[in-house]
Amino acid sequence: MNHRLLRAADYPVMPWKNGAGSTREILRDAGDGLEGFGWRLSIADVGAPGPFSAFAGYQRVITVLEGQGMRLTVDGVPSRELRALDAFAFDGASAVDCELLGGAIRDFNLIYSPARYRARLQWLRVQGELALFGSAATVLLFNAGEAAVALRRDGQALGSLARQDCLQVENDGCLAEYRLASAGAADVCLIELEPR
């Protein structure tokens, strides 16, 4: 088992593919620039309505982290109103236009190649201690809130996630127990990735 803790202050900033804004890249599995990766995790600040970049060959799962929310029109079909921590998935090749529901937002993005990976994403509320079990090859844990979250895997301490920090764990295929603990109420995104 290998793991690394990524701090929000260290995320590199890179331009959007369409040049209309910037993204803080949390991490990716491979590749350079905006090409070659099998999966990528990032945070974007959206200050104005407009089109999204296209990522043909990828699936996207987007979640509002901060702000009042947005509505996406995907290939001409409007989504529901997307509020904080309400994940929404769509094809990266789709024509997507964003409408803001009350000013600027910050969102959280998983982009992955379904030909190369199977992915699962879910938001969890951690109050006190929460136990999870999984055997995915890659596990990502992202803390969306202010309350710190302490992490353990099979009894081993892996550190603590502050606001918008992320933990990456690479596993050997064995079932593992993860324990998340927070003195307050924390919202954590759990992402599990399995190569095809």
Q: Could you tell me if 146 and 187 lie in one domain?
A: yes
pLDDT reported for residue 114: 97
Domain edge (last residue) among 78, 112, 146? 112
Q: Reduce the secondary structure of 73-116 to three states and give it as a string.
A: EECCEECCCECECCCEEEECCCCEEEEECCCCEEEEEEEECCCC
Q: Quote the DSSP letter at residue 32.
A: B
pLDDT reported for residue 34: 63
Domain count across the chain: 2
Element spanning 120, H or E: strand 117-134
* Residues of the domain holding 39: 9-112
Task: Flag whether 179 is in a domain.
Answer: yes
Consecutive sets of 10 residues in the chain, 196 residues long: mean pLDDT of each?
93 80 89 79 93 93 97 98 98 96 95 96 96 96 96 96 97 93 96 96
**pTM, whole model, 2 decimals?**
0.94
Domain edge (last residue) among 62, 93, 112? 112
pLDDT reported for residue 130: 97
Task: Flag whether 3 is in a domain.
Answer: no
pLDDT reported for residue 36: 82
Domain edge (last residue) among 89, 112, 135? 112
Q: What's the CATH number where 97 sits? A: 2.60.120.10
Q: Could you tell me if 108 and 134 lie in one domain?
A: no
